[in-house]
């Protein structure tokens, strides 16, 4: 899933069974990322340690984040949000460019919905496996965790992003989970995006300098990407509350599909992405994503104190 600070698909935002509206044919199938893409079991360590229960802390606007109520998530892993449905086995391939240390490079994010769940802060979440490559070289491998509340809002409950340099694992310092180390969940995609609504929190983890804010700026846009043309697209501007100089990521969510486009507005990384391929659920993508996520979690328990404070993933019932 592309988080504001970790660029992590939406693209996460993102993942679902293909339901398109007009203008062109359906998406073409992409090969499943191989489980061998999962990182080696190197033993680099990360410093953040699990700490206290989440408390009410300042958010993006004048509103404070209330303590999370697990009772508001009665069917949390059945994510059927119109703009961000998550069906196990669905795989999104986002392609574009980003200005990284080596200059403007081809950039690809492959996000796959797994059939695994993980309980975070008392709420079962859906596990997403995401692989981020710069110019064909592995830059990040990530597990993201989402849940839907009774109002249809999809919440971001945490991230485990492993970082790589020249394809070599360097650590996972930006790991966070709601309820640990002062972190709180936030809404990634609202159940009913409305113009003129106030800015809302997408997640906050002070110990890793993560604070993402979002605002709905359009609700009936039309956009065309390689997979199709889409109508009724919701457009969301995301920014970092900790780093105003990082600009804005403008994300486009198509009904029945999820994230289909990312644009940069004043963002030094100038990351731009479009949905290049969409793989609808099939046994191969489900199996590959499950194994890759299990491998990544095994490594996470070795290198991350924060991750070790969470229960293991389990198969979706």
Local structure of 195: helix, strand or coil: coil
Q: Please indicate, yes or no, if residue 17 is contained in any of the structural domains.
A: no
- Give the total number of structural domains in the chain: 1
| Residue 306 predicted with pLDDT over 90 | yes
* pLDDT tens digits, one per residue of 144-161: 999 999 999 999 999 999
Q: Please indicate, yes or no, if residue 173 is contained in any of the structural domains.
A: yes
Contacts of 158 (CB under 8 A, 6+ apart): 120, 125, 144, 145, 175, 176, 177, 178, 183, 185, 203
Local structure of 254: helix, strand or coil: strand
Q: Say if CB 189 and CB 84 are below 8 A apart.
A: yes
Q: Please indicate, yes or no, if residue 126 is contained in any of the structural domains.
A: yes
SS3 content of the chain, % helix, strand, coil (to 5): 10, 45, 45
The boundaries of the domain holding residue 168 are 35-40+54-311
**Residues 208-233: b if buried by 16+ CB within 10 A, e if exposed:** bebbbbbbbbeeebebebebbbbeeb
- Kindly state the average pLDDT of the residues 53-76: 69
Give dist(CA 99, CA 122) in Å, integer. Answer: 38
- Kindly state the average pLDDT of the residues 60-69: 66
Identify the weakest region by mean pLDDT among 11-20, 41-50, 61-70, 90-99: 11-20
pLDDT for position 46: 43
Mean confidence (pLDDT) of the chain:
83
Q: Residue 136: count other Cβ atoms within 10 Å of its Cβ.
A: 9
Local structure of 212: helix, strand or coil: strand
Q: Please indicate, yes or no, if residue 21 is contained in any of the structural domains.
A: no
Local structure of 289: helix, strand or coil: helix
Q: Residue 40: count other Cβ atoms within 10 Å of its Cβ.
A: 9
Give dist(CA 86, CA 156) in Å, integer. Answer: 13
| Distances 247 to 4, 252, 267, 299 between C-alpha atoms, Å | 10, 17, 4, 33
| Distances 190 to 31, 179, 214, 253 between C-alpha atoms, Å | 31, 21, 10, 11
% pLDDT > 90, the chain = 65
Local structure of 306: helix, strand or coil: helix
Q: Say if CB 67 and CB 128 are below 8 A apart.
A: no
- Give this prediction's pTM: 0.81
Q: Please indicate, yes or no, if residue 45 is contained in any of the structural domains.
A: no
Task: Give 119's strand partners.
Answer: 124
pLDDT for position 64: 55
Q: Please indicate, yes or no, if residue 63 is contained in any of the structural domains.
A: yes
Q: Please indicate, yes or no, if residue 27 is contained in any of the structural domains.
A: no
Q: Say if CB 118 and CB 310 are below 8 A apart.
A: yes
Q: Please indicate, yes or no, if residue 6 is contained in any of the structural domains.
A: no
| Residue 53 predicted with pLDDT over 90 | no
Task: Give 216's strand partners.
Answer: 236
Local structure of 207: helix, strand or coil: helix
Q: Residue 265: count other Cβ atoms within 10 Å of its Cβ.
A: 12
């Amino acid at each position: 899933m592309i988080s504001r600070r970790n660029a992590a698909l939406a693209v996460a935002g993102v993942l679902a069974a293909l339901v398109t509206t007009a203008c062109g044919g359906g998406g073409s199938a992409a090969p499943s990322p191989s489980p061998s893409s999962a990182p080696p079991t190197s033993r680099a360590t990360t410093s953040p340690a699990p700490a206290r229960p989440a408390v009410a802390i300042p958010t993006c606007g004048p509103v404070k984040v209330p303590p999370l109520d697990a009772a508001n998530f009665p069917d949390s892993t059945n994510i059927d949000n119109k703009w961000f449905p998550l069906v196990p086995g669905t795989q999104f391939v986002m392609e574009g460019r980003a200005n990284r240390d080596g200059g403007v490079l081809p950039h690809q994010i492959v996000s796959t919905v797994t059939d695994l769940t993980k309980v975070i802060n008392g709420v079962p979440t859906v596990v997403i496996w995401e692989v981020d490559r710069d110019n064909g070289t592995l830059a990040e491998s990530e597990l993201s965790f989402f849940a839907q509340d009774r109002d249809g809002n999809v919440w971001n409950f945490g991230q485990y992003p492993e970082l790589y340099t020249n394809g070599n694992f360097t650590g996972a310092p930006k790991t966070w989970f709601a309820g640990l180390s002062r972190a709180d969940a936030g809404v990634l995609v609202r159940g009913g995006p409305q113009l003129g609504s106030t800015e809302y929190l997408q997640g906050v983890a002070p110990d890793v300098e993560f604070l993402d804010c979002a605002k709905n700026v359009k609700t009936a846009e039309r956009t065309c990407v390689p997979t199709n043309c889409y109508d009724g697209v919701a457009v969301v501007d995301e920014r970092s509350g900790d780093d105003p100089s990082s600009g804005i990521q403008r994300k486009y969510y198509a009904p029945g599909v999820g994230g289909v486009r990312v644009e940069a507005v004043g963002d030094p990384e100038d990351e731009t992405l479009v949905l290049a391929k969409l793989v609808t659920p099939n046994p191969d993508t489900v199996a590959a994503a499950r194994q890759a996520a299990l491998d990544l979690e095994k490594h996470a328990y070795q290198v991350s104190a924060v991750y070790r404070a969470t229960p293991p993933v389990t198969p979706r019932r």
